[in-house]
Each structure stands twice: as structure tokens, then as C-alpha cells.
Structure 1
Amino acid sequence: MTLSHDVAGDGPALVLLHSSVCDRRMWDPQWPVLVDAGYRVVRCDFRGFGDSPVADRPYGDAGDVTDLLEHLGIEQAALVGASYGGQVALELAATRPHTVTALVLLGSALPGHVPGPALRSFAEREDALFEAGDLAGAVELNVETWLGPEAGDETRERVRRMQRHAFEVQSAAKEEFTPAEAQVDLSQIKAPCLAVSGAHDLADFREIAARLPERIPGARHLELPWAGHLPGLERPGAVADLLTQFLRETVLGT
């Protein structure tokens, strides 16, 4: 199966990987900016999100993205990943290091990470609401947990719609297949890497970002004092500027 996706622009390939709270629409604010900046921009929906159906067999999200790149004839690409999308980007960059030209991680998850108390508590509450059929309650829990103080009503409604759609698609599945999680050696990553965290995010994601420079040669960490877990939705313009500057320095070399 080929993931549902959009492609626009010309130039070096740039792939946007969404959070598991959202789908590919989370990149709407940055999409035209990155196209205008001179990239061939690709964004996709993981299985069970947006327009991609749930899996009907065992699978891996990194493998799906690899298949999409091959389908599009892309041999090398820069990756931008938010939250779970960052975890997928890390797996790709570690297992296919010569495919990835640059890596930007926004509140990234980490393969093999053991959740701390706050993240574990969130997961338990979400599971309980989902299993009770209270999708509305599960959606609101996600909106309140993952959006920081900069997020306005319109942004909260946008996330609400994306998360609600994902829950509806996933709850309707007759059989559930969860993506396989690979054990990866982050020291194999060759691409320039910027790990971004938000000061209002859960401790897990702040600590992951802060420690990635210890695990990825040459990686940099940047904490945004105003941000929660989804800075690209909280201050879209600021994140677009951050992305274009880092990619200009690394991918374009200017």
C-alpha cells in the first residue's frame, strides 16, 4: 500500500512526518513556505491517520515511508518529524543514513523510550477513555495535553478534528495491527540534526531532545521557551522560519 500523500515544488526533497495526534494536515501552515523556499515537499499520512487506511497486516511506519520515497523516485531527502513522526524520522536516518540529508525533530519521540510518570499516566487515561468508547473525552485529553499556551481556539479545533478522525478510523478497524518498533543505533545517523523541544512539553520529550546531541554526532538542541508539544501549530510562522533557516544552512549549503 502507498501512503496517502501530497507532493509539490521543485528542488531537494523534503518529507514532513506528522504527530500521532494529527495527520498530514498539521503541516498546512508550513507547506507553502517550504515549497516557495525551493524544495520538493512531500507529506504523508501514516496508516490509520488522515486518508491512509488502517493496516491489514503487520507493518512498520519507517518501511512505509521508505516505500513512498521509492514510489516517488526520491533517493535522498531531508526529514522533518513532529512527535511520533520524529521517531519514524530517527529510525529512517539510523537505518538508511545515506538516504537522509538533514533531520529536524519537533518534540520527537524516541525508539525504545521508556515512558516517565506523566507520559505513562496520559497513556493509561487515553486507553481507558478509548476502550470505554468515550472518543470525545479521549480527544479532549489529547488537545489539553499536547497543545501549549500559545495555541488559540482555531488551532485547538484543528487538532480536535484530526485526532477525532484518527480515533474513528482506528476504532472501526476489525483487527488492530500496531507498527513494529525497531531497535536502532542513533550513532549511525550521518545527517545534520536539530532537536527542538518546548519548555511547556512533558518532561519525556524535553529530555529526549536535550540528550540527542549525546547520541547523534553533531546534533544540536534548541528549546523554545514558548512552546508545548506541537510548536508548528502553536506558532506556525516561527517554526516555518526555523525550518527554512536550518535547511538553508544544511541542505542548500547557503
Structure 2
Amino acid sequence: MTLSHDVAGDGPTVVLLHSTVCDRRMWDPQVPALVGAGYRVVRADFRGYGDSPVPDRPHSDADDVVELMDSLGTQQAAVIGASGGGRVALEIAAGRPERVTALALLCTAWWGHEDSAVVRAFGAREDALLEAGDVAAATELNVEMWVGPAADRATRDKVREMQRHAFEVQLAAVEEFPQPATEPEVAAITARTLLVSGAHDVIDFRETSAELAKRIPGAGHVELDWAGHLPSLERPDVVNPLLINFLRAS
């Protein structure tokens, strides 16, 4: 299956992988800036998000992304991943290092990190609300958890819309096909790597960025003192130049 995606611009390819609170629309503020900086931008919806249907068999998000790259004739690309999309980016960069020229991870998830009590409590509350059929409350729970204080009302509304849509698509599935929790060997990553964390994010993701900065050879780490979990949406005016400067230096 080819993931739902879009392509814009010309030049070196940058692949954008969305947070699992969102879909590929989360990159709306980045696409024009990256295209204007001379890049070909590819963004896709993982299965069960945005316009991509839920999986109908066991699958791998990382394999899906590489298959998409192949279909577009892209042998190498810079990859930018947010949260759950960062976890997918890590798997690609570690398992297929020759395919990734640069790697930027925004508040990334990682199989190697054990969930904190805060995240476990959040997950239990989300499950309870969804089991009770209260999708609206589960959506609000996610907005409050993951959108930082710098975000304006329009950004919060956009995250709300994307998360609500993901819930509706996934809850309509007849059968679930969860992916195995495979931990990539991040020391195998050869791409120049930037980790970005937010001072207002849940501690899990701040700790993950700091730990990965130690484990990935030559990786850099920047913590944004104003950011929550979705800095590229919360302050694109700051994050866009940060990403473009990183890509140009790669």
C-alpha cells in the first residue's frame, strides 16, 4: 500500500513524518518555508491517520515510508520526524543508514524509553474515555497534554481536528494490527542528527532527546525553553529557521 502523501518543490528531498497526535497536515507551516529554501518536500500520513486507511494486515510504518521513497525515485533524503514520527525516522536511519542524509527529531518518541507514571496515567485515562465512547473528551485530553503554552487558538483547533479524525478512523477499524516494539540500534545511525526538545513537554520526551544525543554519534541537542510537545506547530517562526539552518549545514 502506498501511503497518502503529497510532494512539493524541487531540490534535495526532505521527508516529513508526523506525530501520532496529528497527521501530515501538522507540517503545513513548514512546507512553504522548506520549498522556498530549495527543497523537495514529501509528507505522508501513516496508516490510520489523515487520508491513509487503517492497516488490514501486519505492517511496519518504517517499511511503508521506505516503500514511498522508492515509489518516488528517492534513494536518499533528509528525514524530519515529530514524536511518533521521530520513532519511525529512527528506525529508518538506524536500519537503512544509507538512505538518510540528515535526521531531525522533534520531541521524539523511542521504544528504548520506559514510560513515566505521567504517561501511563494519561494512557489509562485515554483508554477509559474511548471505551466509554467519549471521543470528544479523549480528544481534549490529548490537546491539553500535547499542545504547549506558546500555541495559539488556531493551532489548538488544528491539533484537535487531526486527533479527532485519527480516533474516528481507528475506532472504525474491524481489526487492530499493532506493530511490534522493535528497538533500533541507534549507534548505527550515520546521518548528521539534531534532537529538539521542549521545556514544557512531558519529561519522557525531554529525557529521550538527551539520551539519544549521547547514543547517536555526533548528534546535537537543542531544548526550546518555550516549547511543548509540538514546537513546529507552536512556533513555526522559530522552528523553520532552525530546521533550514540544520539542513543547509548537513
Which TM-score applies when normalising by structure 1? 0.97
Per-residue deviation, 1:34 = 0.3
Q: What do you get for the CA RMSD once the two structures are aligned? A: 0.8
Residue in 1 that maps onto 2:58 = 58
Separation in structure 1 between the aligned mates of residue 182 and residue 61 of structure 2, nearest angstrom: 10
Q: Secondary structure at the match of 2:195?
A: strand
CA distance in 1, matches of 2:231, 2:183: 27
Query: Helix, strand or coil: the match of 2:127?
Result: helix
1:73 corresponds to which residue? 73
Any conservation in 2 of the 1:30–1:240 contact (CA below 8 Å)? yes
| Structure-2 separation of matches of 1:12 and 1:169 | 33
Q: Which residue of 2 aligns with 1:24?
A: 24
Cα pair 1:55 1:177 within 8 Å, conserved: yes
Q: What is the distance in 1 between the residues matched to 2:2 and 2:172?
A: 21
Percent of residue pairs bearing the same amino acid type: 64
What does 1:75-94 align with in structure 2 at a 5 Å threshold?
75-94=75-94
Q: CA deviation at 1:179?
A: 2.4
Distance in 1, Cα, partners of 2:66 & 2:238: 29
The aligned amino acid for 2:162 is: M
Unpaired runs of 5+ residues, structure 1, are none
1:153 matched to which residue of 2? Answer: 153
- How much has 1:99 moved relative to structure 2? 0.5
Query: 3-state SS of the aligned residue for 2:42?
Result: strand
User: Residue in 1 aligned with 2:206?
Assistant: 206
Contact 1:198–1:227, Cα closer than 8 Å, also in 2: yes
Partner of 1:240: 240
Measure the CA separation in 1 of the matches of 2:200 and 2:156.
16
The residue type equivalent to 2:213 in the other structure is: P
Structure 2 CA distance, aligned partners of 1:243 and 1:214? Answer: 20
**Which contiguous aligned blocks of 4+ residues in structure 1 show a shift greater than 4 angstroms?**
none
- Residue identity opposite 1:179 in structure 2: Q
Q: CA deviation at 1:182?
A: 2.1
Helix, strand or coil at the partner of 2:98:
coil
Tell me, in whole angstroms, the C-alpha distance in 2 between the residues paired with 1:87 and 1:16.
12
Letter in structure 1 aligned against 2:78 = A
Q: Compute the displacement of 1:19 (Å).
A: 0.2
Residue type at the aligned position of 2:243:
L
Q: Does 1:227 align with 2:227?
A: yes
Alpha-carbon deviations, 1:53-105, whole Å to 9, x = none?
Answer: 00000001001001100111100000000000000000000000011000000
Residue 14 of structure 1 aligns to a residue in which SS? strand
> In the TM superposition, what is the alpha-carbon distance from 1:121 to its structure 2 partner?
1.0
**Maintained 8 Å contact 1:200/1:229:** yes
**1:124-143 to 2 correspondence within 5 Å?**
124-143=124-143
| CA offsets 1:122-142 (integer angstroms, 9 cap, x no match) | 111111111111100110000
| Runs of at least 5 residues in structure 2 that lack an aligned partner in the other structure | none
Please name the residue that 2:168 is paired with.
168
Alignment match, 1:121: 121
TM-score by length of 2: 0.98
Q: Which amino acid aligns with 1:88?
A: V
